[in-house]
């Protein structure tokens, strides 16, 4: 499976990367975000939301599990974005209780899932996986790897710099 790899050097660069990545997203797409606490998952999600003109403040939904934002597509059509953080989810029962499965079936909405590994088999078979990790010797550097899983070939095009 092909992955694209990017280096960012600041919070702003990660937000910009998320914004440019979002240009390829369509209604119904799911983006799963992986990486330790502080890796930059929420910053990347902010960039995606910026692309879709979300005016709410995008913050980590760690305590609420799920946030919902109103955005719009480039043609002005309204678009709902779910931003989910599964950090606190420990069991599949808890996952069910927060309505995760229903959310994954929201075919008209874009889904952003932090700590997606907590959902195991509950993730859609077609999705993007974004892995972020801090670089060993620079506090503000992140390695960002984007993989299209179960998606058509054209979704693998690298971002223009
Ligand atoms: P996560 O959601 O993965 O737990 P956040 O996106 O909430 O992480 O936080 C990332 C933190 O790391 C922020 O405080 C941000 O300012 C800082 N940071 C430093 N360098 C970067 C970078 N290159 N990309 C993203 N965040 C960065
Ligand atoms: Mg977060």
Candidates 160, 156, 88; CA nearest to 128 is 156
pLDDT value, residue 87: 92
Cβ < 6 A, ligand 1 pocket: 8-11, 13-14, 35, 37-43, 60, 114, 140-142
pLDDT value, residue 57: 87
| Beta bridge mates, 147 | 3, 129
For the entire predicted model, the pTM comes to 0.94
CA 55 to chain centre: 17
Sign of CA dihedral 53, 60, 132, 102: negative
Rounded CA separation 56/49 (Å):
9
36 CA → ligand 2 middle, Å: 9
Residue with CA closest to ligand 1 atom 18: 11
Mutate to test the pocket of ligand 1, among 10, 11, 59, 139 (most ligand atoms within 8 A of CB): 11
Rounded CA separation 125/151 (Å):
9
Neighbours of ion ligand 2 (CB under 5 A): 41-42, 60, 114
| pLDDT tens series, the chain, 161 aa | 679 999 999 999 999 999 999 999 999 999 999 999 999 999 999 999 999 999 988 887 667 788 999 999 999 999 999 999 999 998 888 988 888 999 998 999 999 999 999 997 789 999 999 999 998 888 999 999 999 999 877 666 667 65
Candidates 29, 12, 41; CA nearest to 145 is 41
139 CA → ligand 1 middle, Å: 10
């Amino acid at each position: 499976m092909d992955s694209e790899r990017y280096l960012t050097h600041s919070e702003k660069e990660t937000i910009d990367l998320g914004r440019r990545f979002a240009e390829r997203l369509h209604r119904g797409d799911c983006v799963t975000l992986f990486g330790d606490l502080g890796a930059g998952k929420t910053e990347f999600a902010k960039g995606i939301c910026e692309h879709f003109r979300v005016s709410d403040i995008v913050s980590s939904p760690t305590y609420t599990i799920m946030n919902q934002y109103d955005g719009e597509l480039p043609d002005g059509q309204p678009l709902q974005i779910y931003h989910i953080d599964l950090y606190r989810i420990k069991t599949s029962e808890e996952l069910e209780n927060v309505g995760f499965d229903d959310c994954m079936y929201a075919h008209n909405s874009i889904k952003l899932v932090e700590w997606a590994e907590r959902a195991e088999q509950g993730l859609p078979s077609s999705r993007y996986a974004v892995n972020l990790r801090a670089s060993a010797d620079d506090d503000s550097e992140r390695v960002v790897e984007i993989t299209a899983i179960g998606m058509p070939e054209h979704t693998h095009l690298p971002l223009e710099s």
